Amino acid sequence: MFKQHLINLHKKAVQFNFDNMVDMLDVQPGAKLLDLGCDRGDITLKLGSKIQTKKLYGVEVVPERIKEAEKNGVKVKNFDLNNEFDYKSNQFDVVFTNQVIEHLADTDNFLGEIYRILKPGGYAIISTENASAWENIFASIMGWQIFSFTNFSVKRCGVGNPLAINKDIVPPLKSWNHMKIFNFYGLKEILSLYNFEVEKVSGAGYFPLPAEIGNIDKIHAHFMTFKVRKPIV
């Protein structure tokens, strides 16, 4: 019963976090949008609808998902986001990446490449889980693996935390495992190190309380989302 309650709260937090990200998008007809980790492309279509553009690009590594995204009209490439991106510099108006940065070993490459491929004045929306969330702090005090970092093994998910909602699920791909989890100010500072200007921050999820409270106390929300802009030199 309690675990199902946690699952329901998590679903609401995921939806509220997505709503926050959509609210950050600027209406910019004809803008070039790149979705890093575009999956089936259904989310990419929603983003394009808000921006009012059909210039949709994506990066995905799962072959089946690539085919589906292409059917949805997304121009997809398959490459490792830990390496140099297969795009020219100053190419995109918007880069969107939701729950991807925590799966990558090379954060420096990822952020540096996003900066490189953005046009001057373009912006990125970067969302990830937050090690500073109250439930993660509680788990750490208990000696448990924090909720946001229980997926780190190919054997199964939910390692080291008896309340992990994905406990005992075998990850279908190694790339689904988390490599690192950022604290709020850690992510904010490394974004500034790559010369991004932080324009807006949102939060979602505040377990066991309603997801919306995370947008009030953003530092301790489960999900944190940063809208950052590449300055015009």
Place of tokens 């009030």: 216
Q: Is the pLDDT of residue 45 over 70?
A: yes
Instruction: Identify the pLDDT of residue 47.
Output: 97
Instruction: Identify the pLDDT of residue 10.
Output: 87
Token readout for 82 is 């830990």
Q: How confident is the model at residue 172 (pLDDT cuts 50, 70, 90)?
A: confident
Chain mean pLDDT for the chain: 94
Of the two residues 31 and 171, the one the predictor is more confident about is 31
Instruction: Identify the pLDDT of residue 112.
Output: 98
Instruction: Identify the pLDDT of residue 3.
Output: 67
Q: How confident is the model at residue 79 (pLDDT cuts 50, 70, 90)?
A: very high
Q: Where are the alpha helices (DSSP H) in 73-227?
A: 107-117, 134-141, 184-193
What pTM, to 2 d.p., does this model score? 0.95
Q: How confident is the model at residue 1 (pLDDT cuts 50, 70, 90)?
A: low
Q: What percent of the chain has pLDDT over 70?
A: 99
Q: Is the pLDDT of residue 4 over 80?
A: no
Q: Is the pLDDT of residue 16 over 80?
A: yes
List domains and CATH numbers for the chain.
Answer: 2-131+179-229 (3.40.50.150)
Sheet holding 197-204, edge to edge: 75-77, 55-59, 32-36, 92-98, 118-129, 223-229, 197-204
Those residues whose C-beta lies under 8 Å from the C-beta of residue 30, and which sit 6 or more positions away, are: 52, 53, 55
Instruction: Identify the pLDDT of residue 30.
Output: 94
User: Which tens digits make up the pLDDT trace of 115-151?
Assistant: 999 999 999 999 999 999 999 999 999 999 999 999 9
Q: Is the pLDDT of residue 34 over 70?
A: yes
Between the two ends of the chain, the Cα-to-Cα distance in Å is 55
Q: Pick the range with the lowest mean pLDDT from 93-107, 138-152, 159-173.
A: 159-173
Q: Is the pLDDT of residue 6 over 80?
A: no
Q: How far is CA 233 from CA 123, 138, 195, 230, in A?
A: 14, 44, 11, 9
Instruction: Identify the pLDDT of residue 167.
Output: 82
Instruction: Identify the pLDDT of residue 71.
Output: 95
Query: Quick count: other Cβ atoms within 10 Å of Cβ 63?
Result: 8
